[in-house]
Structure formats: C-alpha cells, structure tokens
C-alpha cells in the first residue's frame, strides 16, 4: 500500500502542554473494539501498566463504559480521567499505546484506507493544524509519505470500485488546480462547482460513470463576463446561513467547551441581527474590503481552506457516491467561515486586539470543532440545506 498525506502534514508537531486546547476535552471518545477487548482481557491493568499509580489505573479501568457503546467517561469538567494537570495525556506520556483508543493515538490525523493507497489529513480542530494550513504557501496536494509508528489508518472504505475512485481523484485534482488559479472564491465560482456536482450526481444516480467523466473532462471554471454588479461571496442566501449559525452551530450558554466560539457568534448576532439579506451582504462586503487591506492573503486563505476540505472530504464519497452532499456542505462551511472570520476580526478591533495568526487559527479550529466534527450538527445542516435550498430537488 502506498501512503499519502496532505502537503503540510510533515510540518506537524503537537504543541503538548503549550496548546491552547486539549484534544479530548468536550468530545465523546469512542473506544474501538480492539482496544476495549485488549483492556478487558487482562487481569486488571496493574500487570501491564506498572508505572501508572493505582488511582489512575483504577480510574482508567472504570471510565470505559461497557454498553451500549464503549466510550471513555469524563469527569464533571468534561475532561478525560487520564488528563494530567499539565494538559497532557498520562497514557501518551508513558507511550502506552496498547491501551489507548485508536482515536486518541491518531488525532489529529484522519486517514482513509482506499484499497491500494491510504491518505492522511490533519483535523483543523487542532489549532496547530489550523495554523499550518493558514500559513501554507503554494498548492495543497497529497504527497507520498509513510505514516510513522504508532499512527495507523483509521477509516477503512470497503468499496472496490476502482474506476469511481480514479474519477474522484481526477475530480479533486481538477477542482483544486482550477480554484488555486483563480484570484478568489466568489459566489460565481462556487455556483459553477455546485452545478457541475449536481449534474455529476444525476449521472451517478443512473450509474453512468462515463457520462459523469464527460462532464468532468469539459469542466472549466470561468470568470464572470461582465463586471456589472459588485463581487459577491455568498453562495447561500444569508437567511439560510443565519439559521444554520443560530440553530445548528451556536453552542448552548451552558456549553463551556465552546465558550470562545459562542462569543464570536454573539458578536455576529450584534452585527447582523435585523439586517435584510441584501443589507447583510453589503455589510459583509464593506467590511471585507477593509479587512483584506489589513490582513494579507485573505483570499488565498479561503481558497486553501476549500481545497483542504476537498482533500479531506471528497474521498468520503467513495463510500456513498454522494459528491453533491460534500459540495453543498463545503459551500456552507466556506460561507460561515468567511463571515465568522470577519466577525472575529471586527470583535478584536473593537477590543483593541490584534487579529493575528494565533487568533485566526483559533477561530478556525473552534469553528471546525463545532461545525464539522459533530455528526448530528452536520446532519442538521444538511437537512436545512435540503429543505430550504434544494427544496427537495436533490434527486
């Protein structure tokens, strides 16, 4: 098997105790069957974890739930029992990978086994991965790279439709290269990508991969002919995006794991509440102009995010053939990221703070954590897109 990883993977090094976040805080940690069985087939943990104090051993043992699924129980502050006061994982420190759930070993790596090859990206919910993406220069692509020990490919896609896999890879390359060559990722460009994926979706529903291939071969992103009206970046009506932010993404007041994102969303409401769709667009554009003068390479950053997203998510369609879903969600994530990035910048300005790279990475990582890495939120967003954007016209 050949292993590939996203361009900036080789520069990743966990920040350890210096990290502004803790990987596992606030997340339900699923324990894979392999690890669970390994732990419970031993006569207690003491025999193979001699260095771990008795209290930690017992706590770890009892923190694994047995039914209906195996998860690590957390303490009242939403922290794993293995977390030490310096913000590190006790098991990781002791290199006890044999008893750690696969997700704890691999995070923030996300790897797909695609048959003859594997591909790894880094989750941007990790602020260091987010920083690496934002600082990355040049095109993003998969580069041949051996996944080092103890990390392993953790997402196996059992499809053997090699022709479709090749199609997906060609699609990803074509989109990434064409987007990279464009000066910005405006509404018109996102619309062309959406229309193409809509047509491809319909051919795939009829099992016509060759037709889908023809659509891809003739696909070329074009610039708008007449600059008759102002450039627009909002693919979805602002009203739909607003509902996604308010009802799907906004964390509960009591949810202390997302308090920084909550502050940004509260500021978003302050800025956008009571604006009509066109006023909200205007507000975004006006402030975007100023922001792009203050922050260099803004459009490159948004293009990188979208291309990164394609590298992480397009291959998931190898499992269910649902390319359209990936694109519709990607366009929504892109729009929300743009708007909340601007809101975070405005908020920093009002507070007299600098919206530097650390703050930008934190916003992106907080947003990814909430918006993309929660299955029920993703399903909720997709449901809203289906009802309010597609109006049931998906198939």
Please pick, from the candidates 108, 165, 323, 341, the single residue that binds ligand SF4 as defined by CB under 6 A. Answer: 108
Nearer to ligand SF4, 3 or 123 (CB): 123
Annotate each residue in 13-32 with x if it binds ligand SF4 (CB under 6 A) or - if it does not, as one string.
Answer: -xx---x-x-x---------
**Which of 45/132 has CB closer to ligand SF4?**
132
Instruction: Pick between residue 127 and residue 330 the one whose CB is nearest to ligand SF4.
Output: 127
CB pairs under 8 A, 24+ apart, for 195-201? 197/323, 197/324, 197/326, 197/327, 198/324, 200/171, 200/323, 200/324, 201/322, 201/323, 201/324, 201/394
Q: Which region, judged by CB under 6 A, interacts with ligand SF4, from 12-20, 44-52, 188-196, 252-260?
A: 12-20
128 interacts with ligand SF4 by CB under 6 A: yes
The residue written with tokens 């074009």 in the block is 222
Size of the site for ligand SF4 (CB under 6 A): 8
- Contact between 357 and ligand SF4 by CB under 6 A: the answer reads no
For ligand SF4, the closer of residues 128 and 260 by Cβ is 128
- Concatenate the DSSP letters of all residues of 45-110 into one string: STTT-TTS-HHHHHHHHHHB--SSS-BB-B-TTS-BTTB-TTS-BHHHHTT-GGGS-HHHHHTTEE
CA–CA dist 206, 382 (Å, integer): 23
Please select the residue that binds ligand SF4; options are 126, 238, 298, 329, rule is CB under 6 A: 126
Query: 10: which DSSP letter?
Result: G
- Smallest gap, in angstroms, from Cβ of residue 96 to ligand SF4? 17
Closest separation between CB of residue 117 and ligand SF4, Å? 25
Binding to ligand SF4 (CB under 6 A) within 230-289 occurs at none
Of the candidates 173, 170, 163, the one whose C-alpha atom is nearest the C-alpha of residue 204 is 163
Shortest reach from residue 361's CB to ligand SF4, in Å: 10
By beta-carbon proximity to ligand SF4, the closer residue of 186 and 257 is 257
Smallest separation, CB 179 to ligand SF4 (Å): 27
* Binding-site string for ligand SF4 from residue 35 to residue 54, where x marks contact by CB under 6 A and - marks none: --------------------
Q: Is 330 in the site for ligand SF4 (CB under 6 A)?
A: no
- CA-nearest of 221, 196, 224 to 211 is 196
Minimal distance, residue 178 CB to ligand SF4, in Å:
31
Are the CB atoms for 303 and 180 separated by under 8 Å? yes
The two structure tokens encoding residue 392 = 């049931």
Closest CA to 374 of 382, 386, 363: 382
Q: Which stretch of DSSP H or E encloses residue 217?
A: helix 209-217
Q: Is 153 exposed, middle or buried (0-12, 13-18, 19+ CB in 10 A)?
A: buried
Nearest approach, Cβ of residue 136 and ligand SF4 (Å): 16
Q: In the sheet that 142-144 helps form, which strands lie side by side, from edge to edge?
A: 142-144, 2-6, 117-122, 109-113, 155-156
| Cβ at position 103, least distance to ligand SF4 in Å | 12
Q: Which residue has the tokens 């891809």?
A: 216
Of the two residues 102 and 241, which places its CB atom closer to ligand SF4 in the complex? 102
Q: Is 90 in the site for ligand SF4 (CB under 6 A)?
A: no
C-alpha span between 308 and 11 (Å, rounded): 16
Q: How far, in Å, CA of 367 to CA of 125, rounded?
A: 8
248 or 366: CB nearest ligand SF4: 366
Q: Are 383 and 262 in contact (CB under 8 A)?
A: no
Q: How far is the CB of 166 from ligand SF4 (least distance, A)?
A: 33
For ligand SF4, the binding residues (CB under 6 A) are 14-15, 19, 21, 23, 108, 126, 128
């Amino acid at each position: 098997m050949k292993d590939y990883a996203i361009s900036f993977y080789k520069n990743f090094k966990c920040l350890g105790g210096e990290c502004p976040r803790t990987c596992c805080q606030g997340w339900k940690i699923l324990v894979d069957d392999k690890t669970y069985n390994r732990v419970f087939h031993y006569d207690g943990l003491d025999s193979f974890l001699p260095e771990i104090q008795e209290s930690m051993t017992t706590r770890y043992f009892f923190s694994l739930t047995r039914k209906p699924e195996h998860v690590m129980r957390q303490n009242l502050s939403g922290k794993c029992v293995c977390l030490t006061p310096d913000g590190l994982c006790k098991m990781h420190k002791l290199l006890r990978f044999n008893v750690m759930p696969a997700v704890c070993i691999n995070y923030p790596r996300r790897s797909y086994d695609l048959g003859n090859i594997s591909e790894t990206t880094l989750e941007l919910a990790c602020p260091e991965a987010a920083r690496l993406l934002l600082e990355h220069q040049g095109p993003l692509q998969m580069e041949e790279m051996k996944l080092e020990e103890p990390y392993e490919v953790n997402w196996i896609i059992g499809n053997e439709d090699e022709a479709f896999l090749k199609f997906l890879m060609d699609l990803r390359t074509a989109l990434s290269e064409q987007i990279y060559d464009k000066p910005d990722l405006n509404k018109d460009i996102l619309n062309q990508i959406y229309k193409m994926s809509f047509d491809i979706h319909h051919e795939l529903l009829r099992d016509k991969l060759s037709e889908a291939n023809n659509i891809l071969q003739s696909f070329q992103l074009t610039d708008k002919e007449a600059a008759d009206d102002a450039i627009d970046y909002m693919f979805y009506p602002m009203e739909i995006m607003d509902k996604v932010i308010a009802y799907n993404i906004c964390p509960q007041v009591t949810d202390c794991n997302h308090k920084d994102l909550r502050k940004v969303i509260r500021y978003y409401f302050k800025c956008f509440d009571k604006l009509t769709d066109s006023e909200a667009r205007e507000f975004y554009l006006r402030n975007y102009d100023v922001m792009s003068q203050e922050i260099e390479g803004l459009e490159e950053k948004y293009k990188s995010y979208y291309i990164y997203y394609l590298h992480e998510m397009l291959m998931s369609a190898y499992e269910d053939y649902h390319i359209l879903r990936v694109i519709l969600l990607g366009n929504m994530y892109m729009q929300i990221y743009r708007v909340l990035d601007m809101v975070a910048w405005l908020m920093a300005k009002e507070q007299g703070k600098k919206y530097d790279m650390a703050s930008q990475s934190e916003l992106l990582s907080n947003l990814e954590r909430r918006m993309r890495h929660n299955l029920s939120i993703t399903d909720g967003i997709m449901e809203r897109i289906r009802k309010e954007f597609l109006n049931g016209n998906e198939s």
